[in-house]
Structure 1
Amino acid sequence: MTAQSAAFLDDLAPGSAMSVNVTAPDGSDMTVALVRTPDGVVHAMDDECTHGRASLGEGDVDDVSVECWKHGARFDVRTGKPLSLPATRGVVTYPVTLDGEVILVDVDTPTA
């Protein structure tokens, strides 16, 4: 499998995040968080916070990070690395490309 359609760019405003379902490499369903930074760049990462099992797609976006709504852990959207406690483990990030207005995510080749 290669990059797959995840959402339309118009559905993800700059400075926001959302959760989307895609097909995992093993054929099962998986959820990823799409994050669009205030400057308009789109990133994809595992949706679940490594600390509290909360959706990062519901988090607050600030420059290059997303903050988990449940306990305030922040993650770098470019690398998945935790930027603040209580998270100590990062999340996996995935390559994103745009095909016109369609956001494509490649979950077969994680970047972090």
Structure 2
Amino acid sequence: MFIDPFVIRSINRSGLRKKILLYLDQIYPSPTYLSEIARAVKSDPSNVKGALIGLGNRYNGHSSLVSLGLVEVVTEKGFKYYRLTEYGREVVKLLKSYYPYYSRYT
């Protein structure tokens, strides 16, 4: 599967995006909600929201995990949940194979 270099660059520029991807990979295929992700990665929910979908000037929407196609939004009964996509799983697999640091999350 082809992985866009822009995607890898965007992930490498943000430690929070990496943590979110690795966490969602651990719990795949289960979706989870924003505050649970924030708790798991030890970050503020507003920062996690920015990494997931973009938020103002600090988090560019074009580099968000949802815009990059790595995470999908699942809406059930009016609530939003987030789940790693198949493309997202391939990107995480690539990161783990390229960088020994990520292999500890396997």
TM score, norm. by length of structure 2:
0.32
TM score, norm. by length of structure 1:
0.31
Structure that is richer in strand per residue: 1
